Amino acid sequence: MSPDRTRRLSGGEVALTLGVVLGFGLLVLLPLALVMGQALLPDLLEGHVPHLSLAGLQHSLANPRSITAITHTALLSVLAATTATLLGFCYAVMLTRTDVACRWLLSITPGLIFLTPGYLKALAWVLLMSPGGYLAQFGLLSDAASDAFFGIGGLVFVHTLNLFPLACFVVSAAMAGLGGEFEDAARTVGASARGAWLRVNLPLLAPALALAFLAIFAEVASDFGMASTIARSIDFGLLTYSIATAIENFPVDFQLAGSQALVLLSMLSAALLLDRMLRRQRRVRLISGRARPARIYRLGAWRYPVAAVGLLVSLLAVWLPMAAIIARSMARTLGQGLVSSNMTWRYIDQALTLGLPANQALLRSLGFASITALVCGVLALLLAWRLDQGGRVLRNAVLAVSMGAMAIPGVVMGLGYILMWNRLPVFSASGLYGTWPLLVLGYISHGLPYALVVVLPAIGQISPNLLDAARLYGASAATRLVRIVVPLIALSLITSVLLVFTRTVFELPISQLLQPTSGAPAPSVIVRYFGNDNDGIGSALSLLAIVATGGSAGLLWLAARAAGRAVWGKGVGDMVGMPGGR
Amino acid sequence: MATWLECRAVAKRLGGKQVLEGLDLAVEKGEILSILGPSGSGKTTLIRLIAGLADPDGGEIDVAGRAVFGPRVNVPIERRGVGYVFQDYAVWPHMTVAANVAFGLEMAGLGRAERDLRVKQALASVHIGELADRFPDQLSGGQQQRLALARSLAMRPEVLLLDEPLSNVDAALREHLRLEILQLVRAHGTTAIYITHDQSEAMALCDRLAVMQHGRLLQTGAPEELYRRPNSQFVASFLGSANALAGVMEGSVFTAGGVQMRTNCPVPGTFVELMFRPEDALVAEAYPQNQLEGVVEACMFIGRCWRLTLRADTTMFQIDWPHRVAEQTTLAFSIAPDRCALVPREAEPRRDF
């Protein structure tokens, strides 16, 4: 038991805490409230006295396009969540319970998939699967297969490859917690390996599988990348894209957008609620984290065939799409194929030349992302530090809201920002709408929860005694923060900044909806290039964005870790994990 | 009595380290063998190999007169007839208490009625019959351990392996459960191996005791034999407090400096250490020819007696004494010849520069 650390807050601390809550409310809660208000109080932003009415909601949802979008979203989410959970489960079992060959290559795949944005892979798959695309050129693709891809089958396929790592992470963690003894105990009382899996391991892993399913369901339902690329090109209406078109097309229909957003949020809330209920189950908690690692199955002659299947998944999910983007960025046209006469540096050159639109968009995005990441890092640090000092209630409340905010689709957040800064009196008068600072503000509100989720646990691990000791020596709050907290959580802080940076460079829906009039950021420009059959320059821009972001983030992280090692003699992050935080 | 469980030259490497080195072990039918050793000595690895939870690198294992592991045999875990009680119970959290016990019986193909009867008997034997419908998370640690034991015993295994089953139970309950396990296993006539690193538990719970270190069995025998006649300094000190005095044997007399001691114990060689336990110290007059002497440096009350720390030249002794003795007093005491155990000297005599 930790000692009771509650004490009376000073006036300044109360003000700071209030400020923190207010800022958080303005950034996240108000836009969200406006979206819901728009759906349920149609007159809210019309200057009349608002009255509750379901008529508008009913009208908007009775629209055939809404009905299609809702059913498509539900169907696609359930299908893709099922296949991705299954694939993730098999992948996790292969990685954690067998002596499969090529383990290293297989084990980095889920992380790589997670780091590359989904819509870029979707665009790459279009290059691969379209009738004149790369796979057809190699004779690997029949027309029938190509047709099947451009339908719900293709969407399920790409979503599965993109999201199975989520299930893989969840199931791997659950299996590590489960350990091998439950299974061993079943074997020692006479169960076969199959029996032990069916009757003991699978029932015990069921909650984890359900959690993975729900998380993937929510990801697919709130995805904007595939919805605005593959799905749009085949006119497969989905809620997120439908919300965006309701705002972007003329006449703008906020009522429709708000209603559809409400439906989407309800679907996500249902998933979140089920998730909470599952986590509360007492029996899940009996599985301890100190379990003996489970035994590894010897695959014998099957080591290589199984590895081949795993590598195929890896190839389809990461390497093939990347190869397609690289190939397309260096080719004059898609149709002429991979021949030297079709090679050109033109697109890459355009993306690299200062002053040209593609390069401007890239630099803009890198700049926006840098500002966003730094602001999020500082805010997350202050917020987490404040929360750690404050009461448990406030801490849990903010953590819960952050987790909730992570589940809010970017397109809904974007809609909320439009309602707030374009239509809500006082805010609309600020003139911020349509400018890049508002876009950055949108990025910040979307990135802050991620930064907080990394920084908050790290700060929580610092032993209070370390800070009390500094206080005894007369260090002020600011000194304690800068001299004790920051050095101890440096690696987490840098990780959070880099996480927000990479997410922001590729953030699509907010970029699309809050596009500044001064010029669009890279994600919306990339999607537009592909939409206008300029996929060469689109690919070149994607490639450079990936190289610039991944390269700079990777180098910074390695440099930070090396610097930490040089100063401490070991990783900075390691310091916090030690008992007492020494 | 017949050998019921036998390991011959069993070897195992784990993570580049030789955990077991050509280990031989035989357990008689109905016997309870305790294996005692510090953590990392390979005791858990040994019983995991017997159960089939891991495969040895070499050697042979027989259970109930049947080869379960050897150059050409590797019987799957579920067909070895071996019961296993895990350190942290491993009772299945998604099954009720009754279902936990019934699971194995169902796997064995027993009918419903037979199963119910055996479940009832097993739960009654560990005194948790009234908890049959509860889930494990509604049980205390001690009850979970009883359930784990019932689950194994209900299968009537040929050999029962217990892996430190009491290490997660609080001290007050441990003594009680220890007795209960002993009675139960005896009542079932089950052959059992009991792994522990607690010497009092090991000695209390077995017919025979084996002490293990660095993947080897150092000594096997009745608990009192190991306690009184250890064959190494490690065994002597692992089973309880022990004093050691390095010296040489001159005929049948132990000599160290000016001290001479007589002993009835077997002599392992010329360079030896004489070992005795604190509680074996008697007044000097008891055995005048077997006297030692030292200056009292500390005197601590430990309940049933006083424990004195004595210095004699460079050697320190600890002895139990019936009354307090002032510090810096010179005290002589004696040791009975049959309490002077001899073990080979492990290192060359140390020289102080």
B91 close to A (CB below 8 A):
yes
Specify the pLDDT at position A449.
84
Domain ranges of chain A: 25-55+345-582, 63-336
Dihedral of alpha carbons A97, A102, A108, A112, sign: negative
β-bridge mates for residue B320, sequence order: B307
A295·B54 Cβ contact <8 A: yes
Contacts (Cβ under 8 Å, ≥6 apart) of A410: A222, A224, A446, A507, A508, A509, A510
B88·A283 Cβ contact <8 A: no
Number of domains into which chain B is organized: 2
A483 close to B (CB below 8 A):
no
Nearest-Cα distance to chain B for A185, in Å, is 7
Q: In terms of Cα–Cα distance, which of A381, A371, A541, A380 is closest to A439?
A: A371
Give pairs for A138-144: CB < 8 Å, separation 24+: none
Is residue B117 included in any domain, yes or no?
yes
Q: Which CA distances in Å does A199 have to A202, A294, A531, B77? A: 7, 16, 51, 17
- B199 shares its domain with B256: no
B103·A282 Cβ contact <8 A: no
B136 close to A (CB below 8 A):
yes
Residue type, B287: Y
Cα angle: A533, vertex A536, A540; to 5 degrees: 135
List the CATH number of the domain containing B140.
Answer: 3.40.50.300
- B181 shares its domain with B252: no
Q: Are B16 and B67 in contact (CB under 8 A)?
A: no
Q: In terms of Cα–Cα distance, which of A384, A327, A323 is closest to A17?
A: A384
- Could you tell me the mean pLDDT of each successive run of 10 residues in chain B, 353 residues long? 90 91 94 93 94 93 94 92 89 90 92 94 92 91 91 93 87 84 89 92 90 94 94 92 92 87 88 94 93 94 93 91 94 94 74 38
Element housing B7 (H / E): strand B3-14
For B273, the domain range is: 242-344
A253 close to B (CB below 8 A):
no
Nearest-Cα distance to chain B for A188, in Å, is 5
The fold of A63-336 is: MetI-like fold (1.10.3720)
The fold of A25-55+345-582 is: MetI-like fold (1.10.3720)
Give pairs for A342-350: CB < 8 Å, separation 24+: A346/A536, A347/A536, A347/A537, A347/A539, A347/A540, A348/A540, A348/A543, A348/A544, A350/A537, A350/A540
The pairing of strands B191-196 and B32-36 is parallel
Write the residue in A182, A192, A203 that is nearest to B78 by C-beta. A192
Is residue B86 included in any domain, yes or no?
yes
Mark which of B160, B194, B228 sits at the end of a domain.
B228
Report residue B112 CA to chain centroid gap: 39
Dihedral of alpha carbons A227, A232, A236, A242, sign: positive
B86·A203 Cβ contact <8 A: no
Q: Are B219 and B261 in contact (CB under 8 A)?
A: no
- B193 shares its domain with B297: no
Substitution target from A184, A188, A205, A298 for chain B, most B beta carbons within 10 A: A188
- B113 shares its domain with B137: yes
Residue A400, Cβ neighbours under 10 Å: how many?
11
B90·A288 Cβ contact <8 A: no
β-bridge mates for residue B312, sequence order: B315
Report the C-alpha gap between B155 and B101 in whole angstroms: 9
| Set of chain A residues whose Cβ sits within 8 Å of the Cβ of B151 | 185, 189
Report the C-alpha gap between A377 and A486 in whole angstroms: 11
B108 close to A (CB below 8 A):
yes
| Set of chain B residues whose Cβ sits within 8 Å of the Cβ of A186 | 92, 103-104, 107
Dihedral of alpha carbons A429, A434, A437, A443, sign: positive
- B109 shares its domain with B258: no
Nearest-Cα distance to chain A for B207, in Å, is 25
A and B: number of Cβ contacts within 8 A:
80
**3-state secondary structure at position A192:** coil
Specify the pLDDT at position A526.
94
β-bridge mates for residue B85, sequence order: B162
DSSP string, A455-478: HHHHHHTS-HHHHHHHHHTT--HH
A189·B91 Cβ contact <8 A: no
Element housing B84 (H / E): strand B82-85
Q: Are B240 and B343 in contact (CB under 8 A)?
A: no
Q: Tell me how far apart the terminal alpha carbons of chain B are, to the nearest angstrom.
A: 56
| Set of chain B residues whose Cβ sits within 8 Å of the Cβ of A295 | 53-54
Specify the pLDDT at position B352.
38
Structure-block tokens of residue B186: 């005896």
Is residue B233 included in any domain, yes or no?
no
B75 close to A (CB below 8 A):
no
- B299 shares its domain with B173: no
Nearest chain B residue (CA) to A291: B88
Place of tokens 């004790």: A484
Is residue B350 included in any domain, yes or no?
no
Nearest chain A residue (CA) to B92: A182
Cα angle: B157, vertex B160, B161; to 5 degrees: 145
- The ipTM value here is 0.79
B305 close to A (CB below 8 A):
no
**Adjacency order of strands within the sheet including B32-36:** B82-85, B159-163, B191-196, B32-36, B208-213, B216-221
| Set of chain A residues whose Cβ sits within 8 Å of the Cβ of B135 | 282-283
| Set of chain B residues whose Cβ sits within 8 Å of the Cβ of A291 | 88
Write the residue in B54, B84, B136 that is nearest to A188 by C-beta. B84
Is residue B235 included in any domain, yes or no?
no
Structure-block tokens of residue B20: 């077991």
- C-alpha atoms less than 13 angstroms from C-alpha of B264 in its C-beta half-sphere: 6
- B160 shares its domain with B215: yes
- B16 shares its domain with B79: yes
Is residue B234 included in any domain, yes or no?
no
Which class for A13: exposed (0-12), middle (13-18), buried (19 or more C-beta within 10 A)?
middle
Task: Tally the residues of chain A.
Answer: 582
Mark which of B171, B202, B228 sits at the end of a domain.
B228
Nearest chain B residue (CA) to A200: B92
A182 close to B (CB below 8 A):
yes
Report the C-alpha gap between A195 and B11 in whole angstroms: 30
Alpha-helical runs (H) found in A281-391? 282-285, 303-314, 320-329, 346-352, 357-389
Cα angle: A54, vertex A60, A61; to 5 degrees: 90
- B52 shares its domain with B197: yes
Report the C-alpha gap between A539 and A329 in whole angstroms: 5
Write the residue in A181, A204, A282 that is nearest to B137 by C-beta. A282
Q: Are A533 and A130 in contact (CB under 8 A)?
A: no
- Could you give phi then psi for residue A329, rounded to 5 degrees? -75, -10
Q: Are A203 and A95 in contact (CB under 8 A)?
A: no
- B260 shares its domain with B178: no
Query: What letter does residue B323 receive in the DSSP assignment?
Result: S
Nearest-Cα distance to chain A for B111, in Å, is 15
27-56 of B, contacting A, C-beta below 8 A: 51-54
Nearest-Cα distance to chain A for B51, in Å, is 7
Domain A25-55+345-582 and domain A63-336 have a common topology = yes
A185·B91 Cβ contact <8 A: yes
Residue type, A393: V
Is residue B236 included in any domain, yes or no?
no
Nearest-Cα distance to chain A for B36, in Å, is 21
Mark which of B198, B228, B258 sits at the end of a domain.
B228
Report the C-alpha gap between B253 and B248 in whole angstroms: 8
Per-residue pLDDT tens listing for chain A (582 residues): 344 444 555 666 677 777 777 877 788 788 888 888 888 877 666 666 667 777 778 888 888 889 999 999 999 999 999 999 999 999 999 999 999 999 999 999 998 898 788 889 999 998 998 888 888 888 888 888 888 889 999 999 999 999 999 999 999 988 888 888 899 999 999 999 999 999 999 998 998 899 899 999 999 999 999 998 889 888 999 999 999 999 888 788 888 888 999 999 999 989 988 888 887 765 555 455 455 678 888 888 999 999 999 999 999 999 999 999 999 999 888 888 888 888 888 999 988 888 889 999 999 999 999 999 999 999 889 888 877 766 667 777 777 777 777 778 999 999 999 999 988 888 888 888 999 999 999 999 888 888 988 888 888 888 777 877 777 777 888 888 888 888 888 888 998 999 999 999 999 999 999 999 999 999 999 999 998 889 899 999 999 999 999 888 888 888 888 887 776 654 444 443 333 332
Is residue B352 included in any domain, yes or no?
no
| Set of chain B residues whose Cβ sits within 8 Å of the Cβ of A195 | 107
B234 close to A (CB below 8 A):
no
B137 close to A (CB below 8 A):
yes
- B266 shares its domain with B165: no
B103·A189 Cβ contact <8 A: yes
A286·B103 Cβ contact <8 A: no
Q: In terms of Cα–Cα distance, which of A284, A188, A185, A197 is closest to B135?
A: A284
183-212 of A, contacting B, C-beta below 8 A: 184-193, 195, 199-200, 203-204
- B220 shares its domain with B133: yes
